[in-house]
Amino acid sequence: MASFFDEIARNNLKSFILLAVFMLFFSAILYLVVFVLGGGIIAFAIGVLLLILYAAFSYFSGDRLVLAISRAKEADQKQYADLYASVEGLSSAMQIKMPKVYIIDDPNPNAFATGRRSKPSVAFTSGLLSMMNKNELEGVISHELSHIGDNDILVMTIAIAFAGAIGLIAAYFRNMIFWGFGFGGGNRNNGGIFLLVAFAVGLLAPLFAILIRLAISRRREYMADANGARVTRNPAELASALKKIEAYEKNPRATPVMHANEITASLYFANPFKANSIMNLFSTHPPIEERIKRLEAMY
């Protein structure tokens, strides 16, 4: 079992290093903005405080919004008795609170977890439930419960908050570049420096922020795969579930998750967008082939 724990430890360390880099990157961007616009340390502190408040609000209230956007309905316990039994058993094994169970009426085989350890929820598409056998479904469930147990929702909420804040700052500076608004700020004698900072923040910073966020998300997916396989002691079944999803994605008639968007995409078990679409250029998920390869190495 050492390989499972080694895989989890490596991915955990790398994802938190990436998150630390993200936070430092944002701090540097915010400091540059404050410097160029003539602000001081108080303005910098206010910016950081506002971001923390935004991330906290998203973490504590975002689950209800995600479930509503996804058109998730709470599952009837009698109708989905087997699903409830699997979720309850695996939750007990992982020593986390039994989450609320939701169903999404969608043919795309997928699932996601949301909420926090004290108030977790897990949602499954009807397509996933119809496609997977019991052991494969338990592999998917254990993966999603791992996201809850490892506080991945908190990690991704912070990453999304930082990426969103950088995006807003970048939009402001792009307006300055293309429309000439507010050039000079509080440092009117430093027009050249301002233009250079505006270009870097407005055009390059958002791309770097997206790449870091995607890297964090992909690391968390690898970790959830490893931890899910550890709990079920059956990496082959989780790999089998991914193979079925891979086959579905290659079908020309495959459809994306109907109500998924760029914000909620990172929550899903597999990329919720249509295979080979432009959204896959910035996929929050590692390639399914690589996930299968890593799970097969654990047999």
For residues 156 and 114, the model is more confident at 114
- pLDDT digits 0-9 by tens, 185-222: 444 455 566 677 777 777 778 888 888 888 888 888 99
- Of 261, 266, 249, 254, whose CA–CA distance to 70 is shortest? 261
- pLDDT digits 0-9 by tens, 64-98: 889 999 999 999 999 999 999 999 999 999 999 99
Integer Cα distance of 272 and 282 in angstroms = 12
Per-residue pLDDT, averaged over 257-261, amounts to 92
- pLDDT digits 0-9 by tens, 49-68: 887 887 788 778 888 889 99
45 CB neighbour count, 10 Å cutoff? 12
Whether the pLDDT of residue 272 is over 80: the answer is: yes
Q: Given this model, what pLDDT does residue 105 score?
A: 98
Q: Which domains does the chain have, with CATH numbers?
A: 2-66+152-217 (no CATH), 67-151+227-296 (3.30.2010.10)
- Give the CA distances from residue 152 to residues 159, 168, 214, 218, in Å, rounded to whole numbers and listed in that order: 10, 24, 13, 11
Integer Cα distance of 196 and 199 in angstroms = 5
Whether the pLDDT of residue 119 is over 60: the answer is: yes
Give the catalytic positions in this structure. Answer: 144
Residue type, 275: A
Q: Write the burial class of residue 23 (CB in 10 Å: 0-12 exposed, 13-18 middle, 19+ buried).
A: middle
Q: Is 102 left (phi over 0), alpha (psi -120 to 50) or beta?
A: beta
Integer Cα distance of 259 and 270 in angstroms = 14
On whether the CB atoms of residues 138 and 154 are closer than 8 A, the answer is no
Confidence of residue 1 (pLDDT cuts 50, 70, 90): very low
Q: Given this model, what pLDDT does residue 177 score?
A: 67
Q: Given this model, what pLDDT does residue 183 score?
A: 47
215 CB neighbour count, 10 Å cutoff? 20
